[in-house]
Amino acid sequence: MKESISIIFDENTIQRKVKDIALKINQDYISKSDILILSILKGSIVYTADLIRHFNFKFELEFLEISSYKNGKTSGDLSFPDQRLPEFANKHVIIVEDIIDTGKTLAYIQNLIRHSGALSLECTALLIKLEKDNGSLHIKYPGFNINDIFIVGYGMDYAGKYRNLPYIGALKH
C-alpha cells in the first residue's frame, strides 16, 4: 500500500523549538566545564546537529547506537550493538534523544550512566508521546508533546526511510 505523510511540525516550527531548547541549555551550562553531549543514534542525528550549533559552551560529542524498533514497529526489545562506551566519569552528561515513546531506551541509557561517576545527568528529547506510560522519566529539556502516532522525518525513520525530511510528519498507510 502507498505510504503518505501529513506534516505535524514544519521546518520553521522545529527550528524555533530547537533554538528555544538550546538557549535553556546554554543558560544552565555556560558556567560549567567538562560537558559531554551524548547523541542516541540513529534517530537523533539531525536534532543533535541543529541543537549543538546553538551552544555557546565547550563540549565533547559522543554517540551511542541503541534502538527498540524493528522495521517501523515497536519490538519492545532493545538492540544495543557492541560498541565502545564513552568515558562518563567527571563529566556533565546531556543525553540527546529524538523521541520518547515507552521510555525504555532512555531508561536503559540513564542506568548505564547513573553509576559511571558522571557529575550530572540530564536529557533533552525533541518529541514526547504523552499518552504513553513514560511519565516517571525526568526530561529537563523537552520539545513537543505529541499523541501516540507514528512519526517520521527530521532524523526519524520508518523501516530506515524518511530520515532526511526537514519536517516532522505522521506516517499513514
Among 22, 37, 121, 151, binds ligand IMP (CB under 6 A): 151
* Rg, C-alpha atoms of the chain: 16
- Write out the DSSP string of 87-128: --TT-EEEEEEEEESSSHHHHHHHHHHHTTT-SEEEEEEEEE
Query: Known catalytic residues?
Result: 101
Which window, 20-28, 51-59, 98-106, 116-124, contacts ligand IMP (CB under 6 A)? 98-106
Assess contact for 97 and 48: CB atoms under 8 A: no
Shortest distance in whole angstroms from residue 34 CB to ligand IMP: 26
What is the pairing mode between strands 92-100 and 120-129? parallel
Among 38, 43, 100, 129, binds Mg ion (CB under 5 A): 43
Instruction: Tell me how many residues contact ligand IMP (CB under 6 A).
Output: 17
Of the candidate spans 3-11, 46-54, 94-102, 115-123, the one that interacts with ligand IMP by CB under 6 A turns out to be 94-102
